[in-house]
């Protein structure tokens, strides 16, 4: 069996992000977080740790952590996402509310 192409890996990771949103909306925060961590691992491996898509998954993971009652973890994840966005977009970028 040949290894999956980078594009196939990214498509599967995007599907996992969508699944995580469903799990989170269903109150299954731990499962959502695990699913997002799996997707994050793929994005970091394929795109690099400082890619804009990584920042988006980190933000999603922070939101799930917040809803799961883990505010410290949420803050750390948001800070990492913000650092990536500043690197990619420049220091003037601010996330919309």
The answer to whether residue 57 scores a pLDDT higher than 70 is yes
**Is 29 a domain residue?**
yes
Cα 91 from Cα 97, distance rounded (Å) = 17
pLDDT tens profile 7-54: 999 999 999 999 999 999 999 999 999 999 999 999 999 999 999 999
**Is 81 a domain residue?**
yes
CATH of the domain at 36: 1.25.40.10
Structural contact between residues 42 and 9, judged by C-beta atoms closer than 8 angstroms: yes
**Is 27 a domain residue?**
yes
**Is 4 a domain residue?**
no
b/e map 70-93, b = 16+ CB within 10 Å: beebbeebbebbbebbeeeeeeee
Share of the chain above pLDDT 70, in %: 91
Query: What is the model's pTM?
Result: 0.87
Cα 8 from Cα 2, distance rounded (Å) = 12
């Amino acid at each position: 069996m040949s290894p999956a192409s980078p594009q196939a890996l990214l498509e599967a990771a995007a599907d996992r992000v969508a699944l995580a949103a469903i799990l989170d909306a269903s109150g299954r925060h731990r499962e959502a977080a695990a699913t997002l961590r799996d997707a994050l691992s793929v994005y970091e491996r394929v795109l690099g740790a400082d890619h804009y898509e990584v920042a988006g998954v980190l933000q999603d993971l922070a939101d799930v952590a917040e809803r799961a009652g883990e505010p410290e973890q949420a803050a750390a994840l948001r800070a990492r996402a913000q650092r990536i966005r500043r690197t990619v977009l420049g220091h003037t970028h601010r996330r919309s509310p």
